[in-house]
A and B are shown apart, each in its own frame.
Chain A
Amino acid sequence: MAYNVLIVDDSATMRALIRKVLTISGFDLGECHEGANGREALEILENEWIDLVLSDIHMPEMDGIALVNAIRQNHLWENIPVVLITTEGRQEILAPLLEKGVQGYIRKPFRPEEIKRKLQSILGEAWVPHDRELEGCDF
């Protein structure tokens, strides 16, 4: 099964990096959509079939916390796995988001293998590894 992924981050460079990590890590990537903030992410969710959301927290206009709230309050989206990829490391901010049903978080800075490991643990058997080794990739 190929996953349609929505990457939400106000940095185009970080979105490109995450997309690249997904591609080379063996993740079965279908369509990959990108939004620069929560508002853009919601517009994409309205119009596209999304299987997984990878979102930053600190973004202008609409941050990741508001985005998580909106996703979890919409019955069409409430079961979409959400993983935060964020510079935020303070538990008092992260813990309430985990309670709201965020599946996990990856702290920036991260190693590419961490994204793979986290998604494997969340998606379980749905993860389809292609056995492309991360070692030797030109990161």
Chain B
Amino acid sequence: MIENLKAATFEVLETMFFLFPESLEESAQFFHGPGLRAWVPVAGPKKFRVGLTVSLTLAREMATNFLGLEKDELPLEKLQDVVKEAANMIAGAFLSREQAPQEFHLMPPHVVQLNLEDQTWRENAQHLLMAVEDEGLEVFLEKNT
């Protein structure tokens, strides 16, 4: 399952954002400052959510590559929309790779702002930690409460 999440994440980041993340062993120094966390609830026989956490710096990089805009043309709202879309595509690619039955379906994505230093998400077992250059990226799969 986590391998499919990883493959889905790489597929989305490489194809649509031109980013080539590396897996992380140690995470602490890569997660700092303000960030965005977006996730897609998956409804069906089991309820869970698929999402990602990125720094604002990385969100800006993603949005620049995705939309072909200059960084100063990107208000926070646009960054949030791009990170939500990334979560949406990762969730979709993950379900396809899992060959999930059609009873599972994607709900509209959510996004929140957060301070990456304050987070407890690193304790989540079902997640992957990656880095794009010096910026950390977390992709997670967790029970939807």
Contacts and interface: CB of A to CB of B under 8 A. Distances in A.
A75 interface: no
Question: Lowest 6 CB-CB distances: which A-B pairs, in order?
Answer: A87-B92, A89-B96, A109-B15, A13-B81, A138-B68, A109-B16
Interface of A: 10-14, 16-17, 20, 58, 60, 86-90, 92-93, 107-111, 137-139
A20 B16 CA distance: 14
B92 A108 contact: yes
A93 B95 CA distance: 12
Interface of B: 11-12, 15-16, 18, 65-68, 78, 81-82, 84-85, 88-89, 91-93, 95-96, 99-102, 105-106, 108
B85 A20 contact: no
Given A60-B108, A139-B68, A13 B78 contact: yes
A90 B81 CA distance: 25
A92 B104 CA distance: 12
A109 B88 contact: no
Contacts of B99: 90
A84 B82 CA distance: 20
B57 to A, nearest CB: 18
